[in-house]
A = this chain, B = another copy of it.
C-alpha cells in the first residue's frame, strides 16, 4: 500500500509519491553509478579486489628453463642411439654449473636446469650403473620434461584482464609474473544515517562489507529536515544510505533529499521494500532512503543500495547469490504489479515456498535456503514450474554440491 493513498491532511509535503517498477529503479542506478577510479595496491593483499587495467607479465614465467619432473638434466643430443642394447652412461655433475661433456645433474621438479642441459630424463627411466654414473636406455628430444622460460607466460603477455576480481591463484600468478603492485577499483565508502530508533545498523554493516564497501560512518540523526539536508549536502562518502521508519520520518528524509539534490524515485513496486526512495546529492553522490522495517530494509538494500555499491566497486552488480533453476514443490502466489521476494527451502531438487517476509520478518530469510523473485508481470508460479532460485551461501553444502570424488 503506497504513500500516494495517504490522507492529504497528513502530508505536510507537496512531493507526489509515484511508485515505480523495479526495472526503472535499476535503470536509474545503472545510468547514474559507475565504477570508481583506480588506486594502486600491493599484489599480496589484492585478493578480492577488481583489476582496473589488464595486468601484464613483467618477467618470463617460469623465469628460467626448469625441470618438470625429478630426474637428471642432460644434453638431448648426447642421448642419441641409447637403447636397452646400448645403454649410454653419464657422469653425475653439479647442478649449479654448466654441464661437462657426457655429464648429467640430478634435478628436482621445478629446479633450474644447469647450463648446457636442454632435457630431463625422469628418475624412473634412469639406472645407476656405479657410484657417480648413471645409464639411460632411450634417447630423449630437446625440451623433454623441461618447462621452458616463458612457457607459462612470456614477458609482456597479458596475465589477467581488466575487471577481473582477483582470486587467490591470480595473486600467485601476478607474483610469479613479477608484478608487485596492481591498479584496482577503489572500494566505495558508505555513510549510513539512521533516523529514529531502528536497529538496522549491524544488518547494513554486514551487507556493505559483503559487497566490498567500506562503512565509514554509521550514526543516528534527528528527524529534522534541515539537519538531514546538511548531512546529505556534505556526504564525505561515495554512497549515502538513510534509514527511517514511521511517524513522518520517511517524509522528512524524502524532503531532505529533494532539498539537497534530486529525488529520482519514491516508492518501488518491490515487496518487501516498497517504501525505498532513490536520488542523489547536488554533487552526484547516490542516496538511498531505506525503510526501517528490517525485511524491507534488507531488500531495498539488496536490490538498490547494494547494486550501487557493487557497481562502484567494479563488481558484478547483479544480486550476489548463486542462481539455480529448480521446480517449485507448491504453488507460489503473488500480486500482479509488485516484484515479490518469496523465500524457499530446497528439498532435493525442489524449491518449497516457506514462511513469507510479511509473516516472519528476517526470520523468513534465516529460515530459508534462498528465494525466488516473482516479477511484476507475474501472478506467481504453478506447482512444478521451473523458477530461478537464488541460493544463500549457508554453511551446509548447497544442493547439488558434492565432496571430492574418490
Contact = CB atoms under 8 A, between A and B. Distances in A.
26 contacts: A1-B70, A1-B124, A7-B128, A7-B134, A9-B128, A22-B406, A43-B202, A107-B246, A109-B291, A110-B246, A153-B363, A165-B393, A165-B395, A167-B393, A168-B206, A169-B298, A172-B203, A173-B366, A175-B199, A176-B294, A318-B401, A318-B403, A322-B322, A323-B400, A323-B402, A377-B406
A388 B406 CA distance: 13
B3 A70 contact: yes
Interface of A: 1, 3, 5-10, 21-23, 26, 43-44, 47, 50, 61-62, 68-71, 95, 106-111, 122-124, 126, 128, 131, 134, 147, 151-153, 159-160, 163-173, 175-176, 199-203, 205-207, 209-210, 245-250, 275, 291-294, 296-298, 303, 314-316, 318-319, 322-325, 339, 358-363, 365-366, 373, 375-377, 388, 392-398, 400-406
A26 B404 CA distance: 9
A22 to B, nearest CB: 6
Contacts of A68: 358
Contacts of A375: 405-406
A330 to B, nearest CB: 20
Nearest to A324: B400
A365 B166 CA distance: 12
Contacts of A314: 395
Contacts of A126: 7
Nearest to A325: B400
B365 A169 contact: yes
Contact of A172 (B47, B175, B294): B294
8 closest Cβ pairs, A-B complex: A172-B203, A168-B206, A47-B206, A108-B246, A111-B246, A165-B395, A110-B293, A5-B124
A243 B247 CA distance: 62
Contacts of A377: 406
A342 to B, nearest CB: 12
With a 10 A CB-CB cut-off, give which of A5, A47, A293, A362 has the most chain B CB atoms: A362
